[in-house]
């Protein structure tokens, strides 16, 4: 996995090419994963890694393509950086 943050525009471009990306805050193990459900780019999978006690859990959801920029803006304001799964 890449450890050098990229720009939001590079992140979106990589997602459009079929790559899987994630957001992560500096010095945190938690990640929010993003990838397209299929090649139509209508539904985006969002998976948030979480931990309850000593058990790793997560929450998965779908968002529609037009809502993606709002989600990424919200995460970026919360301190997350953009990465691509290489």
Residue 2 falls within a domain, yes or no?
Answer: no
Residue 16 falls within a domain, yes or no?
Answer: yes
pLDDT tens-digit profile of 19-68?
999 999 998 888 999 999 988 889 999 998 876 666 666 778 889 999 99
3: tokens are: 């450890």
Residue 62 falls within a domain, yes or no?
Answer: yes
CA distance 15 to 59: 20
CATH number at residue 47: 3.10.450
In the chain, the number of structural domains is: 1
Burial class (CB in 10 A: 0-12, 13-18, 19+), 14: buried
10 touches 80 (CB < 8 A): no
Residue holding tokens 């000593």? 54
Residue 76: count of CB within 10 angstroms of its CB: 14
Instruction: Tell me the whole-structure pTM to 2 decimals.
Output: 0.84
Domain that holds residue 61: 8-84
Residue 22 falls within a domain, yes or no?
Answer: yes
């Amino acid at each position: 996995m890449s450890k050098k943050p990229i720009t939001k525009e590079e992140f979106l471009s990589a997602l459009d090419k079929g790559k899987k990306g994630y957001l992560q805050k500096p010095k945190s193990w938690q990640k929010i994963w993003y990838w397209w459900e299929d090649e139509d780019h209508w539904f985006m999978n969002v998976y948030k890694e979480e931990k309850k006690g000593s058990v790793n859990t997560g929450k998965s959801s779908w968002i529609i393509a037009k809502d993606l920029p709002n989600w990424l803006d919200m995460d970026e304001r919360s301190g997350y950086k953009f990465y691509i799964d290489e």
